[in-house]
Amino acid sequence: DLFADIGANIGAYALSVAAFAGPRARILAVEPQPDIFDRLTYNIAQNPFGTVKAVACAVADKAGELTLFVDPRNRGESSLKIVGTNEGAQIRVPAVTLLGLAQGEGITRIDAIKLDVEGAEDLILEPFFREAPVSLHPRLLLIEDGTAQWQINLVGLLESRGYRQIARTRLNLIFERAAE
């Protein structure tokens, strides 16, 4: 019923899920960079699905206005954390927590989340799992593998919340929550 694409970039995941899931799916595509967000909304408008909603903000461990470090060589590697050389621009963007996003969108259940936020996945998920009701814990998590940048043992946190890793790609870790 609900797929959240956090760090949606131009919408490749969100639009692929929309094509696969059909008209009954609800998809949130969240992207904080204004020019990339414009491309995302253009791509959404070019597709007939009508099930994808673009949200212009960052998802972080706290709500408010935060600094996004923009990678000049690869805008898709911009992050709320200082990564790489940090030679790029810094822009201020609105931010919400993952729980705040769900509450603000009236979401009561999340089926799957794709989280690609350049090493800040732990900053988003740790407070979410601490504060969100279990009914909001997604069945499936596709997370960019940022283990070298995470400040906590995110895999251990997920395992303690009933998730098991079911696949690994070159860039991503895929977790599934056991049925209750």
Q: What is the pLDDT of residue 51?
A: 92
Q: What is the pLDDT of residue 68?
A: 77
Work out the pLDDT band at 39, boundaries 50, 70, 90.
very high
Look at residue 74 and tell me whether its pLDDT is greater than 70: no
Q: Collapsing DSSP states into helix, strand and coil, what is residue 146?
A: coil
Transcribe 74-123 into DSSP letters: -GGG-BSS--TT--S-EEEEEEE-HHHHHHHTT-S---EEEE--TT-HHH
Give the predicted TM-score (pTM) of the model: 0.89
Contact residues for 141 (Cβ-Cβ < 8 A; gap 6+) = 112, 113, 115, 158, 163, 174, 175, 176, 177
Look at residue 129 and tell me whether its pLDDT is greater than 80: yes
CA–CA separation, 21 and 137 (whole Å): 20
Task: Specify whether the backbone of 47 is left (phi greater than 0), alpha (psi in -120 to 50) or beta.
Answer: beta
- Of the candidates 106, 105, 93, 31, the residue with the CA atom closest to the CA atom of residue 62: 93
Work out the pLDDT band at 123, boundaries 50, 70, 90.
very high
CA–CA separation, 154 and 118 (whole Å): 14
